[in-house]
Amino acid sequence: MGARTAPRREIAMLNNIGLPGLLLIAVVVLVLFGRGKISSLMGEVGKGITAFKKGVSDGSKDDDEAIADGTAARNVTPEADKEKV
């Protein structure tokens, strides 16, 4: 027998959650986890976003420094091999 697939109306229902559905989900999550746990989780998410932004900016600074120093990537292909490409 073939693999069973979900009926189309169940898939379409996931696309139409809407504001009332989202509010209901938020209330259920709040009741299950509590306000303190959610606020600490959001704090950790904020720290993660800040660390990501810092990493991206540090990476671009490193690239700029490498270009200024002349240590950036450059073409080191021998002249004979350049003609083959």
CB distance 57 to 65 below 8 Å: no
Say if pTM beats, i.e. exceeds, 0.75: no
Q: What is the pLDDT of residues 22-74, one digit of tens each?
A: 999 989 988 998 888 888 989 999 999 999 999 888 877 777 777 777 666 67
Looking at residue 57, its pLDDT comes to: 84
Q: What is the pLDDT of residues 3-16, one digit of tens each?
A: 566 555 555 666 78
Q: What is the pLDDT of residues 36-45, one digit of tens each?
A: 888 898 999 9
Looking at residue 28, its pLDDT comes to: 92
At 75 the three-state DSSP class reads coil
